[in-house]
Amino acid sequence: MPDQSHVHQTTASVEQRVDAIQAAFDERGMKPGEFIEEFRHLAEEQWVPENGARVVAKAWTDPAFRLRLLANGRDAVTELGLTMPVHHRHLVVLENTPTVHNVICCTLCSCTAFSIIGLPPDWYKDLEYRSRAVRQSRTVLKEMGLDLPAEMEIRVWDTTADTRYMVLPVRPAETTGWSEEKLAKLVTKDSMIGVSRL
C-alpha cells in the first residue's frame, strides 16, 4: 500500500471532532453525557448575572456589607450563599464613583468571575475587545455606547491571574428608597464588566 501520510486530509467539522472526543470519553467510562447535563444546568441556572446583581444591590443598601465586600469579595459573597470555583482564590470588587470608571478584560484568554457575574459574553472573548480594551479604553467604550466625560479616570483591569474582578456600579440617583430586590433588577452583566453605567 503506498504511503499516504503526506496527503492532506480534510479537517473534520468541529461537531464531528467534539463527537469524537465525547465518544472516546464514553468508551473509557468517563460518563461525559452525565457531566454535560450537569454543566448545562450550572451554565444556564447557576452562573448567572442575577448573582452579581444581588451582591451589588446589597452593597448599595447595606454600608457594612459594602465595606466587607470591598475588603474581601470572596468571603462577602458567601454571605449571600454564592460560591466561586476553588482556583478563583480572590474576588476584587472595583467600585465606580462619579469620577472613576473601572472596566475588566482578559487580554490573554477569557477569565472572569463567572460564578458571580455570569459567563463572559461572546464579544468579551473576541480578538477585538482583548486587543483594544487596554490600549484604547475610552475609544472602545464609546464605540460600545458608553461616552465617558473627559475628566473621568479610567482604570482597566486585565485578568491575568486567577484573581477575579467585578465592577460595583454607581447606584442611580433616582432609586432612593427602593428595595434590594427592585434595585437588583437594574444591574446588568455589562455594568459589572464595566462597559456600561447604570
| Residues taking part in catalysis | 106, 109-111
Q: In whole angstroms, what is the distance from residue 39 CA to residue 180 CA? A: 30
> At 31, phi and psi to the nearest 5?
50, 55
Residues binding other proteins: what is the number (CB under 8 A)?
74
Question: What sections of 105-194 are H helices per DSSP?
Answer: 114-117, 122-125, 127-132, 137-143, 180-184, 189-193
Query: Are the C-beta atoms of residues 80 and 52 closer than 8 Å to each other?
Result: no
- What the block records as the C-alpha cell of 124 is 468579551
Residues numbered 5 to 44 that lie near other proteins (CB under 8 A) are 8-25, 28, 30, 32, 35-36, 38-40, 43
Contact string (CB under 8 A) for other proteins, positions 106-125, x = contact: -xxxx-------xxxxxx-x
Choice between 61 and 70, CB closer to other proteins: 70
Using CB under 8 A, pick the residue from 70, 80, 82, 156 that binds other proteins: 156
Instruction: Answer yes or no whether residue 197 interacts with other proteins by CB under 8 A.
Output: no
Instruction: Answer yes or no whether residue 67 interacts with other proteins by CB under 8 A.
Output: no
Instruction: Answer yes or no whether residue 68 interacts with other proteins by CB under 8 A.
Output: no
Residue 126, beta-bridge partner list: none
Q: How far is the CB of 53 from other proteins (least distance, A)?
A: 13
Q: Which residue has the cell 451554565?
A: 43
Using CB under 8 A, pick the residue from 54, 190, 192, 194 that binds other proteins: 190
Instruction: Answer yes or no whether residue 78 interacts with other proteins by CB under 8 A.
Output: no
Q: In whole angstroms, what is the distance from residue 155 CA to residue 96 CA? A: 10
- What the block records as the C-alpha cell of 165 is 474582578
